[in-house]
Amino acid sequence: MKITIPILLLALAIGASAAQATEPGQSQKPLPAADCINTGQINEWHVVDPRTAIVRTGPRRYLVTLRSACPRLGMPPAGLIFRPSPSNAVNNRGRICGEVGETVRSRRQPPCAIESVSRIDKARFDRLRAHAMHHGSAADQPTTLPSHR
């Protein structure tokens, strides 16, 4: 069987584009430290659906995607409690960047693993906010970071 050059090039191109695509369940790259969510500055939050929340810290707006559905997230008593990864708790002052080990929860929702965090513009934030299921004016954040030994 003889393989022609055009067919070989087509197969290589398809394989390369498939390798670059993000597969379901695969996380995006974490945000750089300067762009992460500063949990002490959260002004408002909205739970859009069981896998999506949006957060605003002053002029910055974020989309937080969870690894799996968290159906009670944001339910009364209202509040979102973000927990940084152990390395961010120490090295990045507890900021949420979309790294492995970060979680968010409500008082009646066990911790939910964060899949990714990304910055979004005001227009997208406003569109998502219009469809949100739960809202809050600030997040319930611990005043001290947990110690990691």
Give the CA diameter of the chain. Answer: 69
Residue 45 class from Cβ within 10 Å (0-12 exposed, 13-18 middle, 19+ buried)?
Answer: buried
87-124 pLDDT, tens per residue? 877 777 889 999 999 999 988 789 999 999 999 999 99
> Residue 17 — very low, low, confident or very high, per pLDDT cuts 50/70/90?
very low
Rounded-to-integer distance, Cα 40 and Cα 62, Å: 14
The domain segmentation of the chain, as residue ranges, is 22-136
Which DSSP category does 123 fall into? H
Beta-bridged to residue 57, according to DSSP, are 60
Strand partners, 1: none
Which tens digit of pLDDT belongs to each residue from 26-75?
457 899 989 999 998 999 999 999 999 999 999 999 999 999 999 989 88
